[in-house]
Amino acid sequence: MRTSILFSAVATSIVLGTAGCKIVKNPDPNATQETAEQQTDEARMAAYAREIWDAQVLPAVAEHLVPLSDLRTALAKDVDAAGAAHGMRPEGEANPWNFAVSGSGVIIVAKTASRAAKLQLDTDDDGKADVTVQLGPVVRGTAIRDAMPFLDFSNFRDQIEFAKLAGGLNAMAHENLSVPEGDLVGMTATFEGVFTYKNLTSSPEVVPTALSIGGS
């Protein structure tokens, strides 16, 4: 029991510590004044995702960023070696690798009216889409959460809380995008983001942390 209290105390102080720093450095008008206990899981994890986004998430993405074309070559040669060199994943059996990648390509399909909006890009000039960029607000998967080495499931109460954290991080990704109106097909999109590796034949479904669209 004592250990668990200590663990929670440590976890809480880490959360509060991060929150404290962030507020001093960069006051957020949307930051809620409620204490953690009064909030729902969703609100608490959304607030936590907002606190760590600039301070920890974006730096972790930048640190592990690899050009998609280089990663493709490395994966084709040896998935485990590519994962060890560039990937991020939680410890445990059979957890898939997550990669932070940068790239650019021509927009082949732009499904922007959907709640699960996405772009499909051709990044290797063969005229065929080979990367999906998830625009949201409905963003599939938990790639950003699972790629963060400092987010450990053991420090969260249960899967529900941990799932809400993934949702909060996906929402941050969506919030920081600006997608121009109009027909985007044929334009060039340049992106940075995270995806969960499935296999060599599945095209990556990237959750973008940066995206610019323009030119053709």
Partner 1 sequence: MNTNRRTFMTGLAGVVTLASTSISFAQGKGLIAIITPSHDNPFFKAEAVGAEARAKELGFETIVLVHDDDPNKQSQLFDTAIARGANAIILDNAGADATVAAVQRAKDAGIPSFLIDREIKESGIAVSQIVSNNYQGAQLGAEEFVAIMEETGNYVELVGREADTNAGIRSSGYHDIIDQYPDMVMVAQQSANWSQTEAFEKMESILQANPDIKGVICGNDTMAMGAWAALEAAGRNDVLVVGFDGSNDVRDSILAGGIKATVLQPAYRQAQLAVEQADTYLAKGSTGLPEKQLMDCVLINADNAADLETFALGA
Q: Give 123 or 132: the residue with its C-beta nearer to partner 1.
A: 132
CB 133, min distance to partner 1, A: 18
Q: What does the buried/exposed string (b/e) look like for 154-182 if buried means 16 or more CB atoms within 10 Å of the residue's CB?
A: ebbeeeebbbbbbbbbbbbbbeebebeee
Decide: is 96 part of the binding site for partner 1 (CB under 8 A): yes
Binding mask 155-194 for partner 1 (x = CB under 8 A): xxxxxx-xx--xx---------------------------
Pick the piece of the chain touching partner 1 (CB under 8 A) from 55-63, 69-77, 90-98, 123-131. 90-98
Decide: is 111 part of the binding site for partner 1 (CB under 8 A): no
How far from 98 is each of 12, 161, 196, CA to CA, in Å? 27, 21, 4
Pick the piece of the chain touching partner 1 (CB under 8 A) from 29-37, 61-69, 93-101, 118-126. 93-101
Decide: is 126 part of the binding site for partner 1 (CB under 8 A): no
Decide: is 95 part of the binding site for partner 1 (CB under 8 A): yes
Report whether 93 contacts 72 (CB < 8 A): no
CA separation for the pair 70, 194 (Å, rounded) = 15
Which member of 93, 125, 126, 181 binds partner 1 (CB under 8 A)? 93
Which residue bears the tokens 């990937």?
A: 87
Residues 6+ apart with CB under 8 A from 67: 101, 102, 103
